[in-house]
Amino acid sequence: RIDPEMMADPGKLREGLKEAADALRGGGVIAFPTETVYGLGADARLTSAVEAVFAAKGRPSDNPLIVHISEVSQLDGLVKQVNPAARKLMDAFWPGPLTVVLPVKPGVLSHRVTAGLDTVGIRMPDHPVALALIEASGCPVAAPSANRSGRPSPTLASHVLEDLAGSIDGIVDGGATGVGLESTVVQVLDDGSVTVLRPGGVTLEQLAQVAGAPVKMDPALMAEAGSGDIPAPRAPGMKYTHYAPQGTLSIVAGESAAEVSDWISRSLQEAEARGERTGVLAFDEHISRYHADCVETLGSLSDLGTAAHRLYAALRRMDEEHIDFILAEACPEDGLGAAIMNRLRKAAGQTVIRLESQAR
């Protein structure tokens, strides 16, 4: 384990990263920080190493892994071609929380990385430790989030160890990650149109500004429970209930913030009266109105970056506190709000309680 104390000493850091890079090259699996969440890395060319990642996570084998690079020049060896529109997005957002799905070059990456698809998701993370590790390893690094499948993604090294201690070869502890939610996954067609397969750290608005072309969300991502047939999402991973806490989580939305918080307060009281342990995820603006066994604030509604940063740790807290009944305030879906609500909906099994306004 490489810890923050070693990180502070440049000599020790270099030594530690070399050890981690050697382990990757030797077929080991190493957890490392990125600017989004911790990843569980393996040499993307080695099937045995990639299989060890799937095994450690308990991940379904039909869910492909993202390949991480440290230099744009690595792309040529991995993909068939990059259209100009995709190139434009990479220029603007790499290194950063954007994964671009591209046609894979056959015979280079382990077939397990792409889960049999003819495309591969590639990203260059914006984290000095991640970039240094990838560079030192000299390999394309396949890395899903470093959680057990179905658990919230790890934003601290301790989350990784909670889920994976004993089943990985090492961890580089770089402290808390920044964004706190996974990268935005996009597919870019030759005509320049962009489809978001998973919303994340780069927002739709930012993509649209750079692409200068329509940006649409994969319709499967917007579905709610009870809204009829839900189409299959194009990012295979988005079909799984992820991030789900052990208790029952519902999102509460409504036109009036006062009505939403009244309803949440009342429902928490009723759950408490039933003998359940209660939890609430809410914004600073309303947090003082709630009484529950576990009250987690996501920061101010005017600063959704903080909500993204805190969300997964807050969901993990609900399990630590053995909460049975959890309510979460919805947030507006623009900017980072799209990614936050997408993860909340997945954690809630798509259950959104929409209050009809009584005010009209």
Per the annotation, binding residues for ATP are 59, 63, 119, 145, 153, 198, 243
Residue 36 contact among Mg ion, ligand TXA, none, beta carbon within 5 to 8 Å by kind: ligand TXA
User: Residue 353 Cβ, how far from ligand TXA at the closest point, in Å?
Assistant: 26
Binding mask 226-265 for ligand TXA (x = CB under 6 A): --------xxxxx---------------------------
Residue 129 in the binding site for ligand TXA (CB under 6 A)? no
Pick 33 or 245: Cβ nearer ligand TXA: 33
Binding test (CB under 6 A) with ligand TXA, winner from 21, 29, 56, 66: 66
User: Residue 57 Cβ, how far from Mg ion at the closest point, in Å?
Assistant: 8
Known binding site for L-threonine: residues? Answer: 36, 68, 123, 143, 183
> Look-up: residue for tokens 């997408």?
342
Half-sphere exposure of residue 40: CA atoms within 13 angstroms, side-chain side: 32
164/354 Cα distance (integer angstroms): 37
Binding test (CB under 6 A) with ligand TXA, winner from 2, 37, 89, 134: 37
309/312 Cα distance (integer angstroms): 8
Longest Cα–Cα distance of the chain, Å, equals 66
User: Residue 295 Cβ, how far from ligand TXA at the closest point, in Å?
Assistant: 28
Helices (H), ranges, 165-303: 204-211, 257-273
For the record, the structure tokens of 352 come out as 């959104």
Burial degree of 218 (CB within 10 A; 0-12, 13-18, 19+): buried
Pick 149 or 265: Cβ nearer ligand TXA: 149
Pick 312 or 325: Cβ nearer Mg ion: 312
Pick 40 or 327: Cβ nearer Mg ion: 40
For the record, the structure tokens of 157 come out as 């090294």
With contact defined as beta carbons under 8 Å apart, do 262 and 354 qualify?
Answer: no
Nearest to 278 by CA among 249, 242, 241: 249
For the record, the structure tokens of 201 come out as 């750290």
Pick 35 or 329: Cβ nearer Mg ion: 35
Q: How many CB atoms lie within 10 A of CB 110?
A: 18
Residue 145 in the binding site for ligand TXA (CB under 6 A)? yes
Binding test (CB under 6 A) with ligand TXA, winner from 23, 24, 28, 34: 34
User: Residue 120 Cβ, how far from ligand TXA at the closest point, in Å?
Assistant: 5
- Taken in order 342, 347, 349, 355, the sign of the CA dihedral is negative
DSSP string, 286-350: TGGG---SEEEE---TT-HHHHHHHHHHHHHHHHHTT-SEEEEE----STTHHHHHHHHHHHTTT
- DSSP secondary structure letter of residue 302: T
User: Residue 30 Cβ, how far from ligand TXA at the closest point, in Å?
Assistant: 12
With CB under 6 A as the contact rule, which of the stretches 48-56, 140-148, 202-210, 267-275 interacts with ligand TXA?
140-148
Q: In the complex, which residues of this chain contact ligand TXA (CB under 6 A)? A: 34, 36-37, 39, 63-66, 97, 99, 101, 114, 117, 119-121, 123, 125, 143-145, 182-183, 185, 197-198, 234-238
